[in-house]
C-alpha cells in the first residue's frame, strides 16, 4: 500500500507551482476580477504550452498522455493560486466527457484544440435555481437542433463549445454545440466570483451533435461530474491550504495587546481547526485520486467523499482566514476575499454541498459501508 | 497511489490471517464487536484474564509487540506489517487494551532509559502480557500542566541511596490491575518546574502504595487514585538522571500520542447501520435530507482519519518519522464520537434516553455518549492538542508562560494537593 503521489508526480507539482507563482500572482487574479476580461488568456496559453491541459488526453488526440494523477496535482496547484482560467470547464468536464462518451469525430475535432489551449469548453447543465434533476430540463434537442436556455453556465462567455443537457424524446441527452455557429446567444451574469464568469446561453435552433446514446445524458453527466468532483476537490484543497497559510502568516505578523495574535488561543485554535479540516480533505482527495486513476468500482463513493470533504474544508479555511485578518480581511485590498469568493463558487459548481452530501449517503446505502468506514 | 498489497505484504497478510483464524478466541467475537472506546464489551469472561490469555498466545507465536525488538519479546516487524496485523486482528485487538499503556508508552520509555539488565528483566513479561503497567503521571493539581506535579521523592537519610516517595496520583488507568508503574516525581522544588522532576519505575506491590478506584461519570471504574505513603524504592529504579524527569516523560508522551491517536474509530459504521434501519417520519432515516447531511459530514471525518492514517503509514514505510500532525487522530475522533452519539440518540426520539439491552445496538450509542467526554480529555485534552498543532505544526508562538523561570515552590496553585 502507498497512499501518496510518486516522486515524478511531486516534481510535476513543484514545477507547476513554480510556474503559477510567477505567472499567476494575486494581481493576475484581480485583473480578471476587476477588468473586462472573463479569464486570463495569457496564463491559459502558458498553461497549454506547458502541456498541462493535455496532461490526461491521449497522445493520439494531441495530448501528453500522462494520467489522472498528474491532473490531480495540476488541479491542486491551480486551486492554490485560484487561477482565473477555465480549466475545470474545459478539461475536467469538457475533455473528460468527450473521452468518456464522445464519437471519434467529436474527439478528433475538439481534443487536440483543447490540449493546445485553442478551444475552451463549458458545461451547460443548469436551468435556474434549485438542485438540478433530469426532470427539470426544458431545453430540447431534436433532429440535430438545440433549443432552450441554460443558466448559469460557468465560462460560457469565453467558450468555443458547450456540452448541453437537453430533452430528447422522453429522456434527456447530452449534446455538443459549436458556439461559433448560428442560433447561439450569450448573456453575461453577475456572480459572487467574477474570476470564473457565469453566463446565460440561449439556443435557437443551434446545430448540435449528440454525445453518447439518446436518453443516456443524465447517466453520462453523472459519471463525468464524479470524475470532475475529484479534480475540483483538488482545486479546493489547494485553495484551502493557501487560505490556511495566509491566516497563519498574518497571525505571526500582526501584533495586538503587545503580542502576536497567533499567541492568542482563540486564533491559534481556529488555525489548528483549519489545518485539521484541510488535512482530512487532503486524505479524502487522495482516496479520490486513487479511485480516479484506477477506475475503481468505488469511484462514485470516493468522488462524493472527496467532494464533500474538500468543499467543507475550503469554505471553512476561507471564511476563517478573513476572521484571522480582522478588518483588513474585509478590505478589497487584501486577498482574503478572492479565496472566500472562490470557495463559495466552487462549493456550488457541479452541484451544491448538500447535493453531494445526499449523494454520498445514497451511494453508501447501496454500496459497501465498510469501504468508506 | 495504490491500496493493494505488494506480493510480500500479501504473503504476510495470508500468514497472519491463517494464524488468527486458527488461534483467536472466536467465542468472544460477538461481544468484542460491541466494544466502544474505553470498554472491552466483554461480560461473559473477565476482560483482564481473557486479555492475558490472548496476549500470551500471541507472544508464544511471535505476534506480540510487533514494534519491539525480538530480544525484549517483540516481533521486530516493519510499520506496514504492523498495520496489516492490526487490520487482520480486528475485534480481537480490544482484548489487548489492558496493555495499551504498557506496550505503547511505558515499554518504549523503559527501552530508552533503563539499563540493559532492567530491560531484559522488565520488557519480556510486559510484551507477553504476564505483567501490566500503568502510567503514574497526572495529579489532582497537574493534568495538562503535568510539570506542575507535587509528588515528592526525597533521598532517604540512612545513606542507602534509596528514595522515599510521598504524594498522590490520580486518573491512573488500570492501576488496580497493574504490576508495575512508571512514576514521575518532584525532587527539587527550588528550581523552575520542568527542571526539578525525576522519573522512576516501581512495583505496584511496594509497601505504602495504595490504589483507590474512582467511579467515573459513565459509572465504570477504569481509573484510580494512587497514594504514596513513605514508599521506599532503590535508586536503581530511577530512569534518567535526577532532575531529568521531564525529558524522560517526553518519550512517554510522544509515544502516547502515537499509540492513542492512530486508527481510532469514530463509531460511524455503527451509526450508518443504525440509520439504515431507523425511520424518520415513516421513511428510512437515510432518506431524510437533514439526516443525510449530518451523516455525510460524519462520514468524511471517519474516512479522512482513515486515509490520514494510511498516508502516515505510507510515509513511515518510506523511512519518514511521524510528527506532531498525528495529534489530529484523537482530536477528531473524540469530538466526532460525542456529536455522533448525540445524533444517534436524537434519532431514537424520547426513547433515546434509555440505556439498556433493548436500546438500538445494545445501547452502544448511550455508552458512547457517556464515554466520549473522557476521550476528549485523556492523553491530552482537545485544547492541548490544538496547541500542539498550532505551535508545532503551524509554527505559531507558544502560549505565554507566567511560571517559566519561577522556582516551583513560588508558583501559585489551585489549593488542592499542595505538599
Ligand atoms: C479516562 C481517562 C484516563 C486517564 N488515564 C490516565 C493515566 O493512565 N495516567 C495518567 O497519568 N493520567 C491519566 N489521565 C489524566 C489525563 O491525562 C488528564 O486528565 C488530562 O491531561 C487533563 O488534565 P486535567 O484533568 O487535570 O485537566 P486540566 O488540566 O485541569 O484542564 C481543565 C481544562 O482546562 C483546559 N486547559 C488546561 N491547560 C490549558 C492550556 N494550556 N490551554 C488551554 N486550555 C487548557 C483543558 O483543556 C481542560 O478543558 C486520564 C484521564 C482520563 C479522562
Q: Does B297 touch chain A (CB under 8 A)?
A: yes
* B301 CA distance to ligand 1 middle (Å): 24
Which of A172-186, B81-95, B254-268 has the weakest average pLDDT? B254-268
Query: Using the beta-carbon criterion (under 8 Å), do A2 and B328 form an inter-chain contact?
Result: no
Query: Using the beta-carbon criterion (under 8 Å), do B389 and A276 form an inter-chain contact?
Result: yes
Query: Using the beta-carbon criterion (under 8 Å), do B397 and A269 form an inter-chain contact?
Result: no
* Dist CA A213 CA A233 (whole Å): 29
Question: Model confidence at B419, in pLDDT bands (50, 70, 90)?
Answer: very low
Q: What is residue A373's predicted lDDT score, i.e. its pLDDT?
A: 47
Q: Does B80 touch chain A (CB under 8 A)?
A: yes
Is residue B70 scored above 80 in pLDDT?
Answer: yes
Q: What is the pLDDT of residues B20-59, one digit of tens each?
A: 999 999 999 988 887 766 677 788 899 999 999 999 999 9
Instruction: Output the average pLDDT for chain B.
Output: 92
* Dist CA B105 CA A282 (whole Å): 29
Which of A286-290, B240-244, B308-312 has the weakest average pLDDT? B308-312
Question: Model confidence at B4, in pLDDT bands (50, 70, 90)?
Answer: confident
Largest CA distance in chain A: 73
Which distant-in-sequence residues (6+ apart) come within 8 Å of A42 by Cβ?
Answer: none
Instruction: Answer whether A211's CB lies under 8 Å from A102's CB.
Output: yes
Question: For the residues A161-186, what does the mean pLDDT come to?
Answer: 98
Provide the whole-model pTM: 0.95
Which distant-in-sequence residues (6+ apart) come within 8 Å of A212 by Cβ?
Answer: A101, A102, A173, A174, A220
Q: Is B214 exposed, middle or buried (0-12, 13-18, 19+ CB in 10 A)?
A: middle
Please tell me the distance in Å from A361's CA to the nearest CA on chain B.
6
Question: Model confidence at B417, in pLDDT bands (50, 70, 90)?
Answer: very low
* Dist CA B88 CA B142 (whole Å): 39
Which of A12-21, A157-166, B77-86, B149-158 has the weakest average pLDDT? B77-86
Question: Model confidence at B314, in pLDDT bands (50, 70, 90)?
Answer: confident
Is residue B401 scored above 60 in pLDDT?
Answer: yes
Parallel, antiparallel or unpaired: strands A198-211 and B279-280: unpaired
How far, CA to CA in Å, does A266 sit from each of A114, A271, A318, A319? 47, 9, 17, 15
* B383 CA distance to ligand 1 middle (Å): 10
Q: What is the 3-class SS of chain B, one letter each residue?
A: CECCCCHHHHHHHHHHHHHHHHHCCHHHHHHHHCCCCCCCCCCCCCHHHHHHHHHHHHHHCCCCCCCCCHHHCCCCCCHHHHHHHHHHHHHHHHHHHHHHHHHHHHHHHHHHHCCHHHHHHHHHHHHCCCCCEEEECCECCECCCHHHCCCEEEECCCCCCCEEEEEEEEEEECHHHCCEEEEEEECCCCCEHHHHEEEEEEECCCCCEEEEECCCCCCCCCEEEEEEEEEEECHHHEECCCCCHHHHHHHHHHHHHHHHHCCCCCCHHHHHHHHHHCEECCEEHHHCHHHHHHHHHHHHHHHHHHHHHHHHHHHHHCCCCCCHHHHHHHHHHHHHHHHHHHHHHHHCHHHHHCCCCCCHHHHHHHHHHHHHHHHCCCCCCHHHHHHHHHHHHCCCCCCCCCCCCCEHHHCCCCCCCCC
Q: What is the pLDDT of residues A71-109, one digit of tens each?
A: 999 999 999 999 999 999 999 999 999 999 999 999 999
- Angle at the Cα of B92 from the Cα atoms of B96 and B32, rounded to 5 degrees: 105
Q: What is the pLDDT of residues A45-58, one digit of tens each?
A: 999 999 999 999 99
User: Which one is catalytic: B256, B270, B339, B391?
Assistant: B256
Q: What is residue B5's predicted lDDT score, i.e. its pLDDT?
A: 86
Q: What is residue B259's predicted lDDT score, i.e. its pLDDT?
A: 57
Peptide bond into A152 cis (omega under 30): yes
Residues of B in contact with A304 (CB under 8 A): 296
Q: What is the pLDDT of residues B272-305, one digit of tens each?
A: 999 999 999 999 999 999 999 999 999 999 999 9
Instruction: Answer whether A353's CB lies under 8 Å from A312's CB.
Output: yes
Is residue B166 scored above 60 in pLDDT?
Answer: yes
Q: What is residue B418's predicted lDDT score, i.e. its pLDDT?
A: 46
User: What b/e sequence results for A42-79 when a residue is b if at least 16 CB atoms lie within 10 Å of its CB, and e otherwise?
Assistant: ebbebbbebbbbbbbbeeebbbbebebbbbbbbbbbbb
φ, ψ of residue B368 in degrees (nearest 5): -70, -40
Is residue A213 scored above 90 in pLDDT?
Answer: yes
Cell numbers given for A53: 491541459
On the CB side of B134, how many CA atoms lie within 13 Å of its CA? 23
Higher pLDDT, B328 or A372: B328
Residues of B in contact with A2 (CB under 8 A): 1-2, 314, 317
Query: Using the beta-carbon criterion (under 8 Å), do A251 and B311 form an inter-chain contact?
Result: no
- Cα dihedral across residues B385, B132, B30, B216: positive or negative: negative
Query: Using the beta-carbon criterion (under 8 Å), do A280 and B308 form an inter-chain contact?
Result: yes
φ, ψ of residue B135 in degrees (nearest 5): -110, 110
- Known catalytic membership, residue B256: yes
Which distant-in-sequence residues (6+ apart) come within 8 Å of B155 by Cβ?
Answer: B161, B162, B163, B164
Instruction: Output the average pLDDT for chain A.
Output: 96
Interface of B with A in 361-390 (CB under 8 A): 383, 385-387, 389-390
Q: What is residue B415's predicted lDDT score, i.e. its pLDDT?
A: 59
For chain A, report the end-to-end CA distance as a whole number of angstroms: 17
**Hey, of B1, B298, B305, B391, which one would you mutate to test binding to chain A, going by the most A CBs within 10 A of its CB?**
B1
Question: Model confidence at B262, in pLDDT bands (50, 70, 90)?
Answer: low
Q: Is A255 exposed, middle or buried (0-12, 13-18, 19+ CB in 10 A)?
A: exposed
* Dist CA A189 CA A299 (whole Å): 34
Instruction: Answer whether A179's CB lies under 8 Å from A159's CB.
Output: yes
User: What b/e sequence results for B310-348 when a residue is b if at least 16 CB atoms lie within 10 Å of its CB, and e otherwise?
Assistant: bbbbbbbbeeeebeebbbbbbbbbbbbbbbbbebbbebb
Q: What is residue B310's predicted lDDT score, i.e. its pLDDT?
A: 87
**Which of A276, A293, A364 has the CB atom closest to B1's CB atom?**
A293
Instruction: Answer whether A235's CB lies under 8 Å from A88's CB.
Output: yes
Is residue B254 scored above 90 in pLDDT?
Answer: no
Amino acid at each position: 500500500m502507498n497512499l501518496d503521489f510518486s516522486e515524478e508526480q511531486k516534481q510535476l507539482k513543484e514545477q507547476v507551482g513554480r510556474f503559477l507563482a510567477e505567472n499567476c500572482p494575486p494581481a493576475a487574479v484581480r485583473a480578471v476580477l476587476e477588468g473586462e476580461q472573463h479569464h486570463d488568456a495569457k496564463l491559459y496559453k502558458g498553461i497549454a504550452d506547458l502541456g498541462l491541459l493535455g496532461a490526461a488526453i491521449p497522445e493520439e488526440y494531441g495530448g501528453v498522455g500522462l494520467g489522472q494523477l498528474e491532473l490531480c496535482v495540476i488541479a491542486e496547484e491551480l486551486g492554490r493560486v485560484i487561477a482565473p482560467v477555465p480549466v475545470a470547464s474545459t478539461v475536467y468536464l469538457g475533455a473528460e466527457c468527450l473521452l468518456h462518451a464522445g464519437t471519434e469525430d467529436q474527439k478528433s475535432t475538439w481534443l487536440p484544440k483543447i490540449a493546445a489551449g485553442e478551444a475552451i469548453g463549458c458545461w451547460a447543465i443548469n436551468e435556474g435555481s434549485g438542485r438540478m434533476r433530469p426532470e427539470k430540463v426544458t431545453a430540447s434537442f431534436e433532429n440535430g437542433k438545440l433549443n432552450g436556455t441554460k443558466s448559469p453556465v460557468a465560462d460560457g462567455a469565453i467558450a468555443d463549445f458547450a456540452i448541453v443537457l437537453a430533452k430528447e424524446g422522453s429522456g434527456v441527452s447530452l449534446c455538443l454545440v459549436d458556439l461559433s455557429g448560428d442560433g447561439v446567444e450569450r448573456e453575461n451574469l453577475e456572480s459572487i466570483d467574477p474570476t470564473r464568469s457565469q453566463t446565460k446561453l440561449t439556443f435557437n435552433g443551434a446545430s448540435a451533435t449528440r454525445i453518447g446514446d439518446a436518453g443516456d445524458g443524465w447517466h453520462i453527466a453523472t459519471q463525468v461530474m464524479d470524475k470532475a468532483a475529484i479534480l475540483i476537490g483538488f482545486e479546493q484543497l489547494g485553495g484551502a491550504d493557501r487560505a490556511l497559510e495566509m491566516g497563519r502568516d498574518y497571525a505571526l505578523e500582526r501584533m495586538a495587546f503587545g503580542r502576536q495574535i497567533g499567541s492568542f488561543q482563540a486564533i491559534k485554535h481556529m488555525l489548528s481547526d483549519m489545518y485539521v479540516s484541510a488535512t482530512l480533505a487532503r486524505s479524502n482527495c487522495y482516496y479520490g485520486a486513487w479511485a480516479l486513476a484506477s477506475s475503481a468500482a468505488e469511484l462514485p463513493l470516493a468522488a462524493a467523499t472527496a467532494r464533500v470533504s474538500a468543499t467543507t474544508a475550503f469554505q471553512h479555511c476561507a471564511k476563517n482566514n478573513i476572521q484571522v485578518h480582522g478588518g483588513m480581511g474585509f478590505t478589497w485590498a487584501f486577498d482574503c476575499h478572492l479565496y472566500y469568493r472562490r470557495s463559495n463558487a466552487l462549493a456550488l459548481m457541479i452541484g451544491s454541498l448538500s447535493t453531494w452530501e445526499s449523494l454520498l449517503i445514497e451511494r453508501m446505502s447501496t454500496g459497501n459501508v465498510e469501504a468508506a468506514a | 497511489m495504490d491500496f493493494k498489497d505488494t506480493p510480500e505484504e500479501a504473503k504476510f497478510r495470508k500468514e497472519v490471517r491463517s494464524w488468527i483464524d486458527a488461534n483467536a478466541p472466536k467465542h468472544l467475537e460477538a461481544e468484542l464487536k460491541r466494544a466502544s472506546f474505553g470498554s472491552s464489551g466483554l461480560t461473559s469472561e473477565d476482560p483482564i484474564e481473557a486479555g492475558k490469555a490472548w496476549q500470551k498466545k500471541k507472544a508464544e507465536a511471535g505476534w506480540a509487540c510487533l514494534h519491539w525488538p525480538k530480544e525484549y519479546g517483540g516481533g521486530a516487524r516493519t510499520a506496514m506489517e504492523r498495520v496489516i496485523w492490526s487490520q487482520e486482528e480486528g475485534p480481537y485487538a480490544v482484548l489487548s487494551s489492558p496493555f495499551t499503556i504498557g506496550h505503547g508508552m511505558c515499554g518504549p520509555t523503559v527501552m530508552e532509559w533503563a539499563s540493559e539488565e532492567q530491560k531484559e528483566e522488565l520488557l519480556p513479561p510486559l510484551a507477553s502480557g504476564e505483567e501490566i503497567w500503568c502510567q503514574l503521571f497526572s495529579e489532582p493539581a497537574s493534568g495538562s500542566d503535568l510539570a506542575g506535579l507535587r509528588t515528592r521523592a526525597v533521598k532517604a537519610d540512612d545513606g542507602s541511596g534509596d528514595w522515599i516517595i510521598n504524594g498522590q496520583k490520580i486518573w491512573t488507568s488500570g492501576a488496580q490491575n497493574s504490576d508495575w508503574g512508571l512514576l514521575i516525581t518532584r525532587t527539587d522544588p527550588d528550581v523552575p518546574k520542568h527542571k526539578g522532576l525525576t522519573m522512576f519505575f516501581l512495583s505496584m506491590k511496594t509497601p505504602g502504595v495504595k490504589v483507590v478506584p474512582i467511579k467515573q461519570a459513565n459509572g465504570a471504574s477504569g481509573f484510580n487514585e494512587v497514594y504514596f505513603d513513605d514508599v521506599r524504592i532503590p535508586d536503581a529504579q530511577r530512569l534518567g538522571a535526577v532532575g531529568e524527569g521531564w525529558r524522560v516523560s517526553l518519550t512517554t508522551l510522544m509515544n502516547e500520542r502515537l499509540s492513542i491517536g492512530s486508527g481510532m474509530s469514530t463509531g460511524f459504521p455503527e451509526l450508518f447501520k443504525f440509520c439504515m434501519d431507523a425511520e424518520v417520519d415513516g421513511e428510512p432515516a437515510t432518506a431524510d435530507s437533514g439526516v443525510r447531511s449530518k451523516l455525510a459530514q460524519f462520514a468524511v471525518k471517519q474516512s479522512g482519519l482513515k486515509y490520514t492514517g494510511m498516508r502516515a503509514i505510507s510515509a513511515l514505510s518510506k523511512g519518514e518519522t511521524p510528527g506532531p500532525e498525528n495529534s489530529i487522530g484523537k482530536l477528531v475522533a473524540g469530538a466526532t464520537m460525542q456529536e455522533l452519539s448525540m445524533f444517534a440518540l436524537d434519532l431514537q426520539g424520547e426513547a433515546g434516553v434509555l440505556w439498556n439491552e433493548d436500546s438500538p445496538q445494545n445501547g452502544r450509542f448511550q455508552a458512547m455518549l457517556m464515554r466520549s467526554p473522557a476521550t476528549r480529555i485523556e492523553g491530552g485534552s482537545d485544547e492541548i492538542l490544538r496547541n500542539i498543532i498550532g505551535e508545532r505544526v503551524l509554527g505559531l508562538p507558544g502560549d505565554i508562560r507566567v511560571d517559566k523561570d519561577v522556582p516551583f515552590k513560588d508558583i501559585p496553585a489551585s489549593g488542592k494537593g499542595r505538599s
